[in-house]
């Protein structure tokens, strides 16, 4: 499974910078002591379940209140990336093999490099006249894009600093309702139970995305003088077979951070794990709920390339996150129970 838990540095970064990278990782670990923060969060919630969390009143919640915990930093811990773009030829911070989050709407296409989104996690945008936001959760490995309009009102979103199922919660600045980044629904507050319209995204290499959309434009680095985007603050996290915050379901047969492509049709779900697809010559031709699905897994870039009908919801995620939100999921070519299941 090592091929599926890939250390995804920016491919355009020069070689020979190991000392600087080591310092960056050390600093990131100090900034993100996730297990200790998780334990503290649980204690704080248990101490007084009625106290606001990060200033949010957890009311009219649709998920257990105790399952919503602080994720470490407070609200809006990182500056949101501005929606500024350049042509691919001008984007020196990406290479053909750089993983990007691709979004297309209204005849326009955008590429959001994953190594930028790890730091900023949210971009409020308008594409083809559609108000939307593009998000990436580095804790669950999940890219998402949603329309920002609800009841004919365009909402402004931020990062709450809270998590549910180890997945970060967004909030809208108009009502301070909390929204699941994974599910796209409000889990507490005035708008609890409302859902955002989800837009299809693809997490693949820039080269692949550009084949689909030759005129795509690329997100500009928001703070290049302050942040060294070549190095991820989550490298140590990717390798840990642990989940730092409470989750509702866990299957320890696979590494927690193994990459998964999940599909959903009419409430039924199936997971294609990177390691399983790799054993099948990196390719899948499958039928699920009457829909034909084709998948390739690229272990070098750690991305899936797929084709599926429009009514199939497709999700890139870490295994633990897909399982937490879809506890009854099928697993494609399920290997069955492990002889010696791992424990955290």
Do 140 and 252 reside in the same domain of the chain? Answer: no
- Cβ-count burial 269-303 (b if 16+ within 10 Å, e if not): bbbbbbbbbbeeebebeeebeeeebebbbbbebbb
Give the phi and the psi of residue 174 in degrees, each rounded to 5: -75, -40
Q: In what order do the strands lie in the sheet with 130-137?
A: 122-127, 130-137, 142-147, 198-199
Percent of the chain with pLDDT over 70: 84
189-198: pLDDT as tens digits: 999 999 999 9
Structural domain range at position 327 = 247-331
Phi-psi region of 40 (alpha: psi -120 to 50; beta: other; left: phi over 0): alpha
Count the neighbouring beta carbons within 10 Å of the beta carbon of residue 10: 20
pLDDT category at 78 given cuts 50, 70, 90 is confident
Q: Which of 237, 268, 288 is the last residue of a domain?
A: 237
Is there a domain that residue 8 lies in? no
Residue 74 pLDDT exceeds 90: no
Is there a domain that residue 269 lies in? yes
- Show the DSSP H helices in 114-187 as ranges: 114-120
8 A C-beta contact, residue 10 and residue 115: yes
Q: Which of 237, 255, 277 is the last residue of a domain?
A: 237
Is there a domain that residue 325 lies in? yes
- Show the DSSP H helices in the chain as ranges: 18-31, 34-47, 114-120, 206-212, 235-239, 274-279, 319-325
pLDDT category at 91 given cuts 50, 70, 90 is very high
Sequential DSSP letters for 266-294:
TTEEEEEEHHHHHHTTTEEEEEETTEEEE
pLDDT category at 79 given cuts 50, 70, 90 is confident
Do 253 and 322 reside in the same domain of the chain? Answer: yes
CA distance 92 to 12: 8
8 A C-beta contact, residue 132 and residue 120: no
Do 140 and 255 reside in the same domain of the chain? Answer: no
In the structure encoding, which two tokens stand for residue 163, read together? 């998590």
CA distance 184 to 143: 12
Q: Which of 205, 237, 269 is the last residue of a domain?
A: 237
Is there a domain that residue 9 lies in? no
Do 55 and 105 reside in the same domain of the chain? Answer: yes
CA torsion, ordered 332, 335, 340, 343, to nearest 10 deg: 0
150-177: pLDDT as tens digits: 999 999 999 999 999 999 999 999 999 9
15-31: pLDDT as tens digits: 333 333 333 323 333 33
Do 127 and 233 reside in the same domain of the chain? Answer: yes
246-302: pLDDT as tens digits: 998 899 999 999 999 999 999 999 999 999 999 999 999 999 999 999 999 999 999
Identify the CA nearest to 177 among candidates 194, 164, 201, 198. 194
Q: What is the DSSP letter of 73?
A: S
Identify the CA nearest to 3 among candidates 272, 282, 285. 282
Do 208 and 252 reside in the same domain of the chain? Answer: no
CA distance 98 to 329: 30
Is there a domain that residue 82 lies in? yes
pLDDT at 343: 42
């Amino acid at each position: 499974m090592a091929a599926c838990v890939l250390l995804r540095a920016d491919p355009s970064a020069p070689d020979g910078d190991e000392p600087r990278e080591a310092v960056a990782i050390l600093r990131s670990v100090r900034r993100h002591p996730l297990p200790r923060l998780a334990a503290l969060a649980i204690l704080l919630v248990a101490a007084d379940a009625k106290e606001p969390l990060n200033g949010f009143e957890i009311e009219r919640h649709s998920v257990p209140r105790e399952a919503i915990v602080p994720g470490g930093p407070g609200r809006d811990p990182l500056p949101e990336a501005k929606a500024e773009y350049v042509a691919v030829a001008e984007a020196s911070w990406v290479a053909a093999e750089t993983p990007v989050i691709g979004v297309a709407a209204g005849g326009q296409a955008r590429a959001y490099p994953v190594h930028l989104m790890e730091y900023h996690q949210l971009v409020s945008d308008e594409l083809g006249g559609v108000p939307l936001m593009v998000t990436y959760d580095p804790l669950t490995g999940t890219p998402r894009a949603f329309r920002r309009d609800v009841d004919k009102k365009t909402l402004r979103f931020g990062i709450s600093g809270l998590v549910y199922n180890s997945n970060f919660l967004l909030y809208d600045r108009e009502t301070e309702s909390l929204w699941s980044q994974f599910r796209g629904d409000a889990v507490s507050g005035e708008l609890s139970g409302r859902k955002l319209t989800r837009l299809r995204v693809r997490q693949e290499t820039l080269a692949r995305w550009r084949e689909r959309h030759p005129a795509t434009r690329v997100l500009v680095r928001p703070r290049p003088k302050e942040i060294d985007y070549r190095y991820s603050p989550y490298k140590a996290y990717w390798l840990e077979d642990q989940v730092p915050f409470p989750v509702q379901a866990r299957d320890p047969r696979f590494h927690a951070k193994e990459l998964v492509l999940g599909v959903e049709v009419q409430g039924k779900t199936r997971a294609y794990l990177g390691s399983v697809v790799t054993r099948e010559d990196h390719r899948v031709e499958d039928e699920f709920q009457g829909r034909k699905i084709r998948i390739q897994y690229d272990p070098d870039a750690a991305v899936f390339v797929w084709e599926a009908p429009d009514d199939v919801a497709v999700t890139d995620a870490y295994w633990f996150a897909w399982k937490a939100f879809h506890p009854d999921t099928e697993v494609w070519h399920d290997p069955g129970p492990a002889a010696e299941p791992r424990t955290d």
